[in-house]
Amino acid sequence: MEQSAHAGQVSSHWLTPLVKYRIFLILAVNLGFFSLAYISSYLLRFDFLLPEEYYGVMLRTLPLVVLLQGLLFYYYDLFQGLWRFVSFEDLVNIVEATVLSQIFLANVNYFTQSWLGRIPLSIYFLDCLILIGLVGGSRMAVRYGRQRWLSPGRVPRPKSTIVVGPVQVAEPLVREMLRHPEALQPLALLDPLGESPGCRIHDILIIKGLQNAVALARRHGVQEFLVAWPEAPEEELTRLMTAAHAQGIKVKVVPSLPEVLAGKTRRIDIRDLDLLDLLHRPPVQVESDRIAGILRDRSILVSGGAGSIGSEISRQAAAFGPRTLILLDRAENSLLELEMALRRRFPDLKVVALVGSVNDREGVLHLCQEHRPEIIFHAAAYKHVPLMERAPLEAVYNNILGTRNLLQAALAAGAEKFVLISTDKAVNPTNIMGVSKAIAERYVQSINGVHPTRVVITRFGNVLGSAGSVIPLFQEQLLQGGPLTITHPEIERFFMTIPEAVQLVLQAAAMGEGGDVFVLNMGRSVKIRELAEKLILLAGKTPGKDIQMVYTGLRPGEKLYEELFNADEKPQPTAHPMILRATRPPDPPEVWEEGLAELEALVRRRDVAGVLARFQTLVPTYTPFEGGRA
């Protein structure tokens, strides 16, 4: 290995001086090819016994041939390309330039044959063939030779892989792999649609059926499957991963061609299969122009700006060109990191990062008076169910009274729109966190129409990868060798990635006319047990054998199934297919002003029993956890 690498370095070293004069060298070599091909065509035509008269014709017309072919090769940029990267397109250009040169030569000779002499017709044909062979063959030889002898990484043989995907989708990847076979060599193409089994594409066999693919992989020692199927159903990917794992085969994916062209990835990066691939969801489409209409050149405030949702709102909102982006959070380290990241990415954006809390009524009032935010995203909240079961007073203080403080400050400052980030746990709540968000929802909705500020509520379920969520917990447990702890074998949750949840929050904010409760379509719910099994398989382990799963029982306030709508809400479609509107008649604002004032008084007295009793009267559908509080 070291000797080969050294040889490659030495070979490259003596070529270094030639790089400086590469264009002149290529020009000289090609001019030599033009001359050699033309002379060889005469010699072949006359069996190497060239008559005197044609010897003169050859010499007199040779400069003309070299000139015409040189001009056409220059026109087709054939003096510029790197020979070691010669492609099919380059060979086509060589053929076109050569054929056109013969056509031009024949026309020029027709008018000049009286003094240059007539070129035999067979010479055009022979010269064309010889020149294409010399120019094209030499470039292919350089490419092969460089890959064979001069590449420092030539010792390891490329790994064989089976490409998985419909023929129309996977063909560009197969073609690219064959053009650059240094790392991966396609052995076969597994077409999940089974449209052309037994046929070949670029001389690569198309096969049908996962078992056939596994058997072929086993016979040829294939180490990985390469998925080129962006729209692959979750079930298909799970079957593929399970079958591959049983044979010790890795599963990797490549981005779709539109992603590459759109700049979402810089090149055709091959990456490991991950959980998002197995929880396949259609990509979120939003109306960027409509979102820009409410964000561009506006002053935007994001409370909880350094949290999982708040930071993503900040990043996505910044891309729409607001005038000012105000970030409010009490986590100073996370806030500083976000501020620095935003300043690097958006150097022209005015970013105001403020350490503070929505619980500070005077503080948020002063903030809104000073900065006059026009659009407010209220993402600051306590969200961890078990912790809030042990701290109901803090849940009231932060999730309910903090919402009131910020909304009242927004109204006083004349904000245009106030967007509350809520949760599906606010529907028929069974825990403190959920009921606190339900009260916040109803209070905010009651204010709409009383003031010019329009309020919008967005409600969605679990987000993948947020702090304290189940996925990071499982990943940490996997690193420790297990077991993975699950509260109940039948527990289900809705899942959405943080970026797509925020995209829909921005879309809902743009759509909201005031008083709207928008519910994000989370797709189908997922059993946590199945989620754990897939993560174990992704880690290359076998569920129940290498990594155990342990059921610990439902935690305080935890439901088996989450819901998206209350009984008194009517789900209605909106113009966006992934956003539904929950309609219900708002309560009079004085009802909720009085209720929040009572809760505030109970919190000040540290009256937990009184707070819980008031929850029940404010939200009759609240059903406290039967096991009590720890």
Q: Which residues are catalytic?
A: 425
Cis peptide before 483 (omega within 30 of 0): yes
53/474 Cα distance (integer angstroms): 88
CB 537 within 8 A of CB 543: yes
Helix, strand, coil content of the chain in percent (nearest 5): 50, 15, 35
**What's the token pair of residue 27?**
């020009």
Asked if residues 162 and 171 have their Cβ atoms less than 8 Å apart, the reply is no
- Beta carbons within 8 Å of 625's beta carbon, 6+ residues apart: 389, 430, 431, 556, 557, 558
Task: Give the residue among 57, 46, 65 at the shortest CA–CA distance from 103.
Answer: 65
Quick one: angle between helices 432-447 and 401-413, nearest 10? 20
CA 435 to centroid of chain Cα atoms:
35
Question: Residue 201 phi/psi, 5° resolution?
Answer: -130, 120
Question: What is the length of the chain?
Answer: 630
User: How far is Cα 399 from Cα 619, in angstroms, rounded to an integer?
Assistant: 15
CB 409 within 8 A of CB 368: yes
* Residue partners of 514: CB distance under 8 A and separation at least 6: 448, 449, 454, 455, 456
Report CA Rg, the chain: 35
Cα angle: 446, vertex 451, 456; to 5 degrees? 55
Tokens 């909720």, residue?
A: 592
How far is the CA of 42 from the CAs of 68, 95, 199, 507, in angstroms? 18, 20, 45, 73
Distances (CA, A) of 368 to 79, 290, 326: 65, 25, 10
Distance CA 369, CA 375 (A): 14
User: Residues near 444 by Cβ (< 8 Å), separated by ≥ 6?
Assistant: 403, 407, 418, 420, 455, 457
User: CA nearest 300: which of 417, 412, 448, 458?
Assistant: 417
Burial of 288 from C-beta contacts in 10 A (0-12 / 13-18 / 19+): middle
Both tokens assigned to 363: 């503080």
Which H, E and C letters describe 215-235, residue by residue? Answer: HHHHHHCCCEEEECCCCCCHH
Neighbours of 594 (CB within 10 A): 11
